[in-house]
């Protein structure tokens, strides 16, 4: 019978794996022993057994879904040992630590990261990654996503921001506060280099294609090549534009011409890519001709008459008279919007895109009154000159 070999305790300890004394906050790699619905057992170096349970099994990548016995897994130590002798671990915390490292590295290197907002408020977009809260202020959104609304209506802004919830955005981290678990992010900063490069390439007169990024009372914003410019209401069409929203909506693709660059401010035009209807205006509307048109708008200084779809003429207040030839104080005293009237062309200024019209010039009574008034004025002038001559003769 073979002799039994005796191993001393000292030798046994020497041959055993090194004891791991995990500390709270430490990141460990272990191997999965078993996976339950809300519990994961992990072998830590063949010495300790860790347990991940409850909400600590949930992380942003849903790691538990693909785990199987034998798989390597990273976790964060919450407690070195609980009352059952297990090391308390967390996938959520480990994911958070890795996320913080990823964000910190991106912040240090000024890199771009991808995020998805989970909520919106009137000030901007909010997100959360494994307990790390991020915020993108409205002012830090890129032009295509900036919520441009009339009158800065807070409710309309919120409606537009809600449409960005769940949308993947490229951002840069402009402030990192690990102690309070908060990040301030900027989509605008992520496109800053692209914007600078694009600004260096564009020149006045260039035609570009883009998408409408906002429609407001005073014009249409268009985003293109990482930039954004404004088509002022006066540059949308050759005719009078009552409402810019009649000429496009957010997301529409449009072609525009760059007509001005001042710092970061870019002025655009839509109408300059269309034929100028004023080019033939001098041939169509000659001074002295009588034309008929519809009154489209009344203003304190006169009335606008539609001559073509793109050209309006102005009947100045001084050229508006009643049937008896007497002048008016307001255009509405004799004219109304939608009314069709005849007027005489008295001025055509192609450089300023202006056609002057007159009702007075077609009113015989008004013309007679004007002639009488001019005659009286001339007679008064002559009388004054005669009186002056008589005074001079008397003095001599």
Q: What is the pLDDT of residues 49-105, one digit of tens each?
A: 999 999 888 887 788 888 999 999 989 899 988 888 899 998 988 888 888 888 999
Look up residue 366 and give its two tokens: 């008004």
- CATH fold, domain 110-190, is OB fold (Dihydrolipoamide Acetyltransferase, E2P) (2.40.50)
pTM confidence score: 0.57
CATH 3.40.47.10 fits 202-273, yes or no: no
Residue 65 vs residues 84, 90, 91: alpha-carbon distances, Å: 26, 15, 12
What CATH number belongs to 22-96? 2.40.50.140
Q: What is the mean pLDDT of the chain?
A: 85
Strand order in the sheet with 132-137: 112-115, 169-177, 182-186, 132-137, 124-129, 119-121
Residue 356 has pLDDT above 90, yes or no: yes
Same fold flag, 202-273 and 277-366: yes
Contacts of 167 (CB under 8 A, 6+ apart): 116, 117
Q: What totals of helices (H) and strands (E) does the chain contain, helices first?
A: 7, 21
pLDDT in tens, 264-288: 789 999 999 988 777 777 778 888 8
pLDDT in tens, 309-321: 888 899 999 999 8
Contacts of 94 (CB under 8 A, 6+ apart): 27, 59, 74, 75, 76
Nearest CA among 84, 11, 8, 98 for reference residue 48:
84
Per-domain residue ranges for the chain? 22-96, 110-190, 202-273, 277-366
Residue 348 has pLDDT above 80, yes or no: yes
Look up residue 375 and give its two tokens: 């005659």
What is the pLDDT, as a whole number, of residue 46? 83
Residue 348 vs residues 192, 286, 313, 336, 356: alpha-carbon distances, Å: 47, 7, 9, 24, 6
- CA-angle at 389, arms to 386 and 390, nearest 5°: 90
Q: Which helix (H) or strand (E) holds 371?
A: helix 364-395
Class of domain 277-366: mainly beta
pLDDT in tens, 205-243: 999 999 998 888 899 999 888 788 999 999 998 877 889
Q: Exposure string (b/e) for 211-233, b if CB count within 10 Å is 16 or more?
A: bbbbbbeebbbbbbebbbbbbbb
Mean pLDDT of 341-356: 88
CA distance 221 to 144: 9
């Amino acid at each position: 019978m073979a002799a039994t070999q005796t191993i001393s305790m000292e030798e046994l300890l020497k041959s055993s794996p090194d004891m791991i004394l995990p500390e709270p906050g430490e990141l460990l790699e272990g191997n999965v022993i078993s996976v339950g619905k809300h519990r994961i057992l992990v072998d830590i170096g063949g010495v300790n057994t860790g347990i991940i349970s409850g909400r600590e099994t949930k992380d942003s990548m849903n790691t538990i879904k693909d785990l199987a016995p034998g798989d390597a897994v990273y976790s964060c130590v919450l407690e070195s040992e609980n009352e059952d002798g297990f090391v308390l671990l967390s996938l959520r915390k480990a994911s958070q630590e890795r996320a913080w490292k990823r964000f910190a590295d991106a912040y240090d290197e000024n890199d771009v990261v991808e995020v998805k907002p989970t909520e919106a408020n009137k000030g901007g977009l909010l997100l959360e990654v494994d307990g790390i809260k991020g915020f993108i202020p409205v002012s830090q959104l890129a032009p295509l996503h900036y919520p441009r609304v009339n009158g800065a209506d807070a409710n309309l802004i919120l409606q537009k921001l809600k449409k960005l919830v769940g949308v993947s955005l490229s951002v840069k981290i402009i402030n990192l506060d690990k102690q309070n678990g908060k990040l301030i992010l900027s989509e605008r900063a992520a496109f800053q280099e692209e914007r600078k490069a694009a600004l260096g390439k564009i020149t006045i007169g260039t035609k570009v294609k883009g998408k409408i990024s906002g429609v407001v009372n005073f014009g249409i914003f268009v985003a293109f090549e990482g930039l954004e410019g404004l088509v002022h209401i006066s540059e949308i069409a050759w005719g009078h534009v009552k409402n810019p929203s009649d000429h496009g909506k957010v997301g529409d693709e449009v072609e525009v011409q760059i007509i001005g660059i001042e710092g970061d401010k870019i002025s655009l035009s839509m109408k300059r890519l269309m034929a100028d209807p004023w080019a033939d205006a001098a041939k169509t509307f000659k001074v002295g001709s009588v034309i008929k048109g519809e009154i489209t708008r009344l203003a304190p200084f006169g009335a606008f008459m539609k001559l073509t779809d793109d050209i309006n003429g102005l009947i100045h207040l001084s050229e508006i008279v009643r049937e008896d030839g007497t002048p008016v104080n307001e255009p509405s005293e004799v004219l109304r919007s939608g009314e069709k009237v005849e007027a005489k062309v008295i001025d055509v200024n192609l450089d300023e895109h202006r056609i002057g019209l007159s009702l007075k010039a077609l009113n015989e009574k008004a013309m007679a009154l004007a002639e009488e008034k001019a005659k009286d004025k001339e007679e008064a002038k002559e009388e004054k000159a005669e009186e002056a001559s008589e005074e001079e003769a008397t003095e001599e």
